[in-house]
Each structure stands twice: as C-alpha cells, then as structure tokens.
Structure 1
Amino acid sequence: MSYSPELPWPVPDERFRHWAGQFADMHDLVRDLVIPPGLPQAAESVLTTARELIRMSYYRYEFMMIGVGTSIIAIETALTEHYGKGTLAGHLKKARADGLLTEEQYGLLDGFGRPIRNKYAHGDLTHVALTPPLAIGMVRTSITILAELHATPSPGPTATGGFTI
C-alpha cells in the first residue's frame, strides 16, 4: 500500500439525507442565518463560522453541533462582558429577566444550547441528538442576542427629561 497525500473528496453524511438531498439544499437551510452589519469583528467571525459549520454538516453531521456550541460560546463571552463574572446559566437567567431573551430563546439556550456547549467544551459531543431545525434555531437565537447586545444604544434622556430624537 502506497501513501497518497491527497484526501478523498467529502461524501454526504447519511444522517443528513432527510434534511437535504444535495449540498445546494444547505444554502436554503441556512439562508435566514444573516449576520447583521455592525457587530464587532470577533462576533461576526464566530457567527459566520457557526453558520458555515451547519452548512458543512451535510458532509459531517457533528459539524452542526460544533456550530451550535461555537455560537453559544460567543453568547457566553458577550454576556460575561455585559454582566461580569458568572456562569452561563446565571447570565442566561439575568438576560431573560432583563428582557434580552424571550422565554423561547431562554428555553433553547438553557435547555439545549448549554448542554451542547458543555459537551463541546468537554469533548463529548457525539452523543447529542440535534436536528438541523433545532441547530438553526439556536444559531439564529445567538445572532439575535449578539445583535441586541452590540446594538447602538438608543438615545438617552436629555437634561430636560425628554429624549433626544
């Protein structure tokens, strides 16, 4: 047997057959995961990576879980910058109480995202059952939250007590 420096071309992951018949279908799946302009470069890079990992999961199903884990870590970093030291669970509760997260977003992140992030961080990701719609929902939630956390603050009150326009 001789050594070949070339790797084989990727083949579709059989586990994805119910979600996309061909790689081009993945573009439609992630089409709504639009990274808003104005995010810090680091946040934009992480979210773009998360989206592309989901798209490439057509070839390796686990990429989808890594994409979700990556987006959750980006949220964790942003929430730590926003709230200071603490746990992801604690920050998610504060964000829900402060209205940064809806109940649905909180449920996705705390019930599904946090365990995925923990499995990702500890190298035990292959046992997570995750569907593409759920993964896309979590990355979409990450995009929404990061956009909210990095939004330009609305005008504050003026010296007369009114708001600037």
Structure 2
Amino acid sequence: MSESPELPWPVPDSRAHLMAGQFSDMHDLVRDLVVPPELPQAAVSLLTTSRELIRMSYYRWEFMMIGAGTSMIALETALTGRYGTGTLASHLKKAEVDGILTEEQYGILDDLGRRLRNRYAHGVLTHAALSPPMAVGLVRTVITVLAELHAASSPGPPAVGN
C-alpha cells in the first residue's frame, strides 16, 4: 500500500487581503457574532459553524458564503418548528406579519439570506455572491432573530405572589 501524499499547509486565499492583513484579523471580523448558549443545541452548532467558516474564509474565500448559508439553515429549522410545513419564503413572510421580524430583518433574510440559501442548496453558489460585511450582517441577523424566537418560546420566571 502506498502512502498518500501529505496535504500542504493552508495558505491565505488570494482574496483574503480584501478583509484581513493576517489571519488574526479575522477574529475582529467575527468578534460580535456571539452565539447565545441557551439556544437549542442544533442552532448553537449551526451558528458556531457559520461563524467559524467566515473566520476560516481567510484560507478559502467560499467558506464565507457557506457560513452565511449555514446560518439560514438554522433559521429555517426554527421557523419550520414554529410554523410547520411550508417554504422558507412563506415562513419569513409569516414571521414579518407576526411581528417576529422587523422590516429590515425581513429584507436581509429574504432578499439576501433566502436567495443565498437557495443558491447554496442547489449548487449554484459563486465566490462573488457575498462580501465579508454582508456575510457577517446576515449571520448577526440570524443570531438576533433566533435569540428572540427562543426567548419568546421559553417559559419566563415563575410569578411571585403578593
């Protein structure tokens, strides 16, 4: 049996200079993408993966789009749990009508997030689809919405009698 060749150490993607001078600068890019630990474990896992893929896009630019698309999967899962069977588009519209999403959040999630998720799911995603601020903004919006959804569905503290 022959030994497999060793993979090379990762080198920065040639497009990385657009967002960071060195890998440690990527920490600053994703610093405020804090995933609340009280979210359901599946959401924590997907959102943490989203953040780390954006950070690792220093080495492979396309990771940024995959990270942003992965955050939409977390949101879609939560909205399906709330609304049942339906499309992501219909769930987003219901969430806006129900006051769960602001108009701005709806715009980000429907115009950018849903289209990105669809391109990702159907294999037509390209590296030119998203800039670093757009990717971070999308993931930040998903984290905010999921935190609000979770807080609204969690029982509050017991009432204190007089």
TM over 0.5: yes
Q: Percent identity?
A: 73
The residue type paired with residue 11 of structure 2 is V
Q: Secondary structure at the match of 1:89?
A: helix
CA distance in 2, matches of 1:58, 1:15: 8
Q: Which residue of 2 aligns with 1:35?
A: 35
SS in 2 for 1:150: helix
Where 1:55 maps in the other structure, the secondary structure is helix
**Consecutive unaligned residues in structure 1, runs of 5 or more:** 157-163
Structure with bigger helix share is: 2
Q: Give the Cα–Cα distance (whole angstroms) in 2 for the partners of residues 7 and 105 of structure 1.
A: 41
**Deviations 1:64-120, CA, capped at 9 Å, x for gaps:** 000011100110111000011111001101111111111111111111111110111
State the distance in 2 between where 1:30 and 1:127 align.
19
TM-score of the pair, normalised by structure 1: 0.89
- Structure 2 Cα separation of the partners of residues 113 and 16 of structure 1: 22
- In the alignment, which residue of structure 2 is the partner of 1:121? 121
| 1:131 and 2:139 are equivalent in the alignment | no
Aligned Cα root-mean-square deviation (Å): 1.8
| Distance in 2 separating the partners of 1:57 and 1:127 | 11
- 1:76 partner letter: E
TM-score, length basis structure 2 = 0.90
Whole-angstrom distance in 2 between the partners of 1:153 and 1:103: 27
State how far apart, in whole Å, the 1-side matches of 2:19 and 2:6 are: 29
Asked whether 1:87 is paired with 2:81, we answer no
In 2, distance between residues paired with 1:79 and 1:58?
A: 31
Give the corresponding residue for 2:100: 100
Unaligned runs of 5+ in 2: none
Partners of 1:78 and 1:42 lie apart in 2 by: 10
- Aligned-partner Cα distance in 1 for 2:81–2:33: 24
2:110 is aligned to 110
**Counterpart residue number, 1:68:** 68
The answer for the alignment partner of 2:59 in structure 1 is 59
Structure 1 residues 5-44: aligned runs within 5 Å: 5-44=5-44
SS of the equivalent of 2:100 reads coil
SS in 1 for 2:34: coil
Give me the whole-angstrom Cα distance separating, in 2, the residues matched to 1:19 and 1:25: 8
Q: Which runs of 4+ in 1 moved over 6 A?
A: none
Kept after mapping to 2: 8 A contact 1:96/1:103: yes
Q: Offset at 1:153?
A: 3.9
